[in-house]
Amino acid sequence: MLVSAGLGGGLLLLGLSFRLGLRLMLDPEVLPQVLAQWQRSPPLTLDPAASLDDLRRQAEAAQQRLGEPLTLGDGFVLIPVLEAETETVVSLALFQGQGGEGELKAIATLAIDPLPKDTVLAPFRNSSQTPTAVPSTFPLSQVVPLSSPPGASEGTWLTLEGTWQQQGLTLRYGHLLHVDLQTLELTLLEPWSSPANRPPQWADLDGDGPTDLIIDETVGLEPALRGWQVVAGARPRLQPVSWLRVPVDAGAKAVTYQQALRLARGGLWPQAQAHLADLKPALAQGWNPAAEAQLRLMERHAAITQRQAEQDWSTPAQYILALLIDGRWEAALAQLEKSPSLVPAVIGRLGADRGQMWNRISAAAALPDPPPAVYVWGGMAIKAQQNQPNNLAGASQDWLDRQPVPALARQRLATVLTALTTHQGQTVASAKQSAGGGADAIASPANNLETNQPLGAIALAPAEAFIGQGTSIASPPAGYAAPGQSLDAELGQWYAVELRAVRQNQGWQRGSLAMPPGANPAAAWSVVQPAAQATPQILRWVSPITGVTAPLTVRGLRLANGTPTLLATGPAVMPSSPPPLVFSQGALMWLDASQGQGPDVGAIAAAATAIFGGTPPPDWATTLATQHSLDLTGDGQAERVLTWNQAALDQLKNWRVQVETTAPKTIILGQDNRVLYSDMFAAQTLVALTSPETGWPVGLLVYRSGGYDLLSWLAAAQRFE
């Protein structure tokens, strides 16, 4: 599932499009007009005696251009060569001043390839927030100088960089480059990627000065810093700081050293740092820069987890997560026991874990005399993983049965799991709650959810995410309030959110939640609460291809004839058509037109048949803006998503195609070129996709007839409807 970074309190301008491809306002003129323009140009090759004019002529002939020169000193200039159509770097040319009239002579060239997907997405390998619908390669678009570290090596340090955005995430990536002006060599070193959108930073890891590099690979609250020691030589070499290798002759202390590294691999940074710091005096004679780099990188991780655990959090579930990441098992459990209404949300976080939290739990349990609360969290993680399509290796009841769990810890685990069952299905339990539980009633965390009274059971699984349509309203009726607050203008604009789709048990269902007869708002809230606390967003459309998003706070809900309507507050937005879209963070995704590909021959022919029915105009393929290939049906085969922007639709109208041009249009083709979805001639448009999960089909969110609707994949009919 795609889970993006939080937006805080500010607004983020996103180019979110009714058509899948547009995330930014795009000038149609920059899109390729013929298939040949999608082909990557080969890098230039220069004779050593070539001049700058020679380079410029070759670039123009290859539909490339010269980028901004970088002066390196001593008369040397580094010039990036860019592909004119995509503005990506395809090669670098090193020139040296020749003569007294500013003439330059080529010294060396270096071809630059885009980075492969697996390299750029490496920081997400064990994260539940892995981006979806990513391109197969990531181009590099600029050359950025790095200040040279004193004493690391001769030469100049730079990085080739690029950025990629997807719904709140800005992924910064690049390739480190070293230029040696003595040997006249250009050397590509290591690729890097930072989900935190930070460039490489010089640091002192080994005690020899700031001659080491750190890459921030942090995703969410899980700190991840990659460290490299710069080893000087004829060519500089980057030696990674490893959590696998004992770099000293530890002798009898080797087992203890390995334990410190296991704790680091498990994400228990404070404990890892403490173990290794205790070893340092005993290994004084053999202690070396590589060991010091391990210790200092552990210290940096531990400082981050400690800071997170001690800061104020607006979301209680995030606070509990921060405590867990810092290894404060008892404090985290005490917070959860104090607020049992948080159990569904916390279980949801543990269920989304792809190994980081479970590794932390199992590493802590393997320590001598672990805190008993560790076993409680282990039991909760096992429960959370039971219904996951790909549960974690080792997260099983057998693991818990093998642990020496004290009786009190077993009792605490049973209490937490009972609270989970209770909150999954709450019904009327007291006269006070029943008094407000008619056909049209309101529930809020203030008056229903902070109690610990058992409320019975309701046969509905908790909502994991939702998609809704927002409407601005006046303040709710008297008697409704958020926890610890009164209704006033400072809460912001109030919204009624009509649910249009809900995800439960890993699957999306169309429409709202249908509550059983007699269910009251408190019971409904227990079902909605996990999704309501997962940082929902509200999006207002300012054009067919541009939207503004802001965070929304769900305060409670109203039940009318068994159908819930959420009540929320957030920044005021102007009326728009379509109306504001409300969605759980990470529930939806948009494809980026700049990351698309050229349509293949089969897709061009199939689209021509669908649109024209016969022979299309000779140059009609120029209207195809972009094609994305991804698995939409969950069968492991990639479908193709073809989109037409405003300029392309206007051209179709010029050819007397009766197509509506008020919003972008989409056709989705299967492997056999069969049309699986088309809104080309329908009064609707595709807004977004639900975020893909392995083995599951995605849903298509469309806007039609004044509202949003979610279309599902029907395997028997081989279409979305």
Q: Is 501 a domain residue?
A: yes
User: What distance lies between CA 613 and its chain's CA centroid?
Assistant: 41
Specify whether 457 is located in the same domain as 577.
Answer: yes
Which stretches does DSSP call E strand in 132-168? 137-138, 142-146, 156-166
DSSP assignment of 648-700 equals: HHHHHHHTT-----SS-EEEEE-TT--EEEE-TTSSEEEEEEEPPBTTBPPPE
476 and 495 Cβ atoms separated by less than 8 Å? no
State how far the Cα of 276 lies from the Cα of 538, in Å rounded to an integer: 47
H helix and E strand count, the chain: 16, 35
Structure tokens at 287: 């202690």
Q: What is the DSSP letter of 30?
A: G
Residue 666, token pair as written in the block: 């989409």
Residues 624, 607: one domain?
A: yes
Residue 12 placed within a domain: no
Taking the CA atoms of residue 415, residue 421, residue 426 and residue 428 in that order, the dihedral angle to the nearest 10 degrees is -60
Q: How far is it, in rounded angstroms, from Cα 691 to Cα 586?
A: 7
CA atoms of 647 and 682, how far apart (whole Å): 18
Residue 57 lies in a domain: no
Is the pTM of the predicted complex or chain greater than 0.85? no
Q: How far is CA 519 from CA 499, 512, 558, in A?
A: 18, 15, 12
| Residues 583 and 493 placed together within one structural domain of the fold | yes
- Looking at the structure, tell me whether residues 323 and 420 fall in a common domain: yes
Q: Do the Cβ atoms of 668 and 641 come closer than 8 Å?
A: yes
By the 8 A CB rule, do 463 and 504 touch?
yes
Pair 403, 499 in one domain:
no
Counting as low any pLDDT under 50, the low residues of the chain are: 1-43, 426-439, 441, 445-457, 478-487, 489
Cα angle for residues 278, 282, 285 (degrees, 5° grid): 130
Q: What is the pLDDT of residue 625?
A: 60
For the chain, what is the domain count?
A: 4
Please name the residues in contact with 467: beta carbons below 8 A apart, sequence gap of 6 or more: 499, 500, 501, 502, 581, 582, 583, 584, 587, 588, 690, 701, 708, 710
Residue 506 sits in the same domain as residue 556: yes
pLDDT score recorded for residue 380: 94
For residue 685, what are the domain limits?
Answer: 593-720
Query: Residue 382: inside a domain, yes or no?
Result: yes
What pLDDT sits at residue 623? 67
- Indicate whether 493 and 543 sit together in one domain: yes
Among 377, 402, 424, identify where a domain stops. 424
What is the identity of the amino acid at 80? P
Nearest residue to 188 (alpha-carbon basis) of 196, 197, 198, 179: 179
**Selection from 226, 301, 308, 307 nearest residue 270 by Cα:** 301
Residue at 226 is within a domain: no
Shared domain for 294 and 344, answered yes or no, is no
Among 549, 568, 587, which residue terminates a domain? 587
Same domain membership, residue 394 and residue 369: yes
Residue 221 included in any domain: no
Which residues contact residue 323 at a Cβ distance below 8 angstroms, ignoring those fewer than 6 apart? Answer: 309, 331, 332, 335
HSE toward the beta carbon, residue 246, CA cutoff 13 A? 19
Looking at 556, 587, 618, which one is the last position of a domain?
587
The DSSP code for 341 is: G
Provide the sign of the torsion angle of the four alpha carbons 351, 357, 363, 364, taken in this order.
negative
580 and 597 assigned to the same domain: no
41 belongs to a structural domain: no
Same domain, 323 and 397: yes
Q: How far apart are CA 599 and CA 222, in angstroms?
A: 39
DSSP per-residue string spanning 243-279: SS---S--GGGHHHHHHHHHHHHTT-HHHHHHHHHHH
| Distance separating alpha carbons of residues 347 and 382, to the nearest angstrom | 10
Q: Which residues pair with 720 in a beta bridge?
A: 713
Whole-number pLDDT of residue 7: 31
Alpha helix (H) residue ranges in 311-440: 316-325, 329-338, 343-352, 356-365, 373-385, 397-402, 407-424, 431-435
Q: Does residue 51 sit within a domain?
A: no
Residue 329 burial (C-beta neighbours within 10 Å; 0-12, 13-18, 19+) = buried
Cα torsion 209, 215, 217, 218: sign: positive
440 and 583 together in one domain: yes
Q: Are 364 and 327 in contact (CB under 8 A)?
A: yes
Closest-CA residue to 484 (of 445, 453, 451): 445
